Amino acid sequence: MRAEMTIKRAASGVDFSRRIAQNQKDSMPVRQANPDDARGIEALMEEYDMVGSFDYQQCLVIDAGAAGLAGFARMDCVGNRFYIRPIIISTRFQRQGLGKLLVEYLLSIFDDITVIARGSAEGFYRALGFSPIGWEQIDEDFCRECQFCPDLTDCIPVPMRIIQPTRGRSLV
Ligand SMILES: CC(C)(COP(=O)(O)OP(=O)(O)OC[C@H]1O[C@@H](n2cnc3c(N)ncnc32)[C@H](O)[C@@H]1OP(=O)(O)O)[C@@H](O)C(=O)NCCC(=O)NCCS
């Protein structure tokens, strides 16, 4: 059963706002999205012909100030699994460590993260410690979404997962 959640709620007890505050020292802060980010998130998705609208509370963004949003990641919770769906770094900001920054940020909150990687992003996830897993571990709706996606043969999706030593915050 699909559970609606916010990143804050999913952190179950982690003081997320404090983590964000600590990050303000960086020139491009990672922060939880707010309603004003909707257009920026949409623009990032358009760069990759992705469509969909999200609850901003499920998204983290990297704020590049006057240059807009450099990227975002959305967490989705299905059953007791947390999925990155999706992560996007603008082409203007790629290969500068920002995708890694977002995922490491999420890994400081979630011990166990699953993703259906686009084939082209498999190397990115491997570099961050994710390993391929079988489709049987993926939510049925997500499997169907990929199976019937018109981009399937170009995308060549790869289900992947990372499990960190538990810090007692997993919902499993
Ligand atoms: C995949 C994506 C998020 C990576 O973001 P990024 O900011 O460019 O990646 P980073 O600079 O943080 O790279 C982190 C590491 O992954 C590696 N990496 C990044 N992209 C890679 C790729 N396409 N293939 C192989 N390795 C890659 C980098 O070399 C780096 O390794 P290092 O830490 O050893 O130097 C970005 O390319 C993107 O938005 N792509 C389009 C949307 C997409 O496919 N999203 C994933 C959907 S599942």
Digitized pLDDT (tens) for each residue of the chain, 172 residues in all: 343 455 655 555 455 555 666 565 567 889 999 999 999 999 999 999 888 777 888 999 999 999 999 999 999 988 889 999 999 999 999 999 999 999 999 998 899 999 999 999 999 999 999 999 999 999 999 999 999 999 999 999 999 999 998 665 544 4
Which CATH number do you get for residue 53? 3.40.630.30
Copy the structure tokens of residue 137: 């571990």
Domain count, the chain: 1
Domain that holds residue 151: 2-163
pTM exceeding the 0.85 threshold for the entire prediction: yes
Ligand 1 pocket test, candidate residues 92, 124, 142, 145, most atoms within 8 A of CB = 124
Residue 111 inside a domain? The answer is yes
Name which residue sits closest to atom 19 of ligand 1, judged by CA: 124
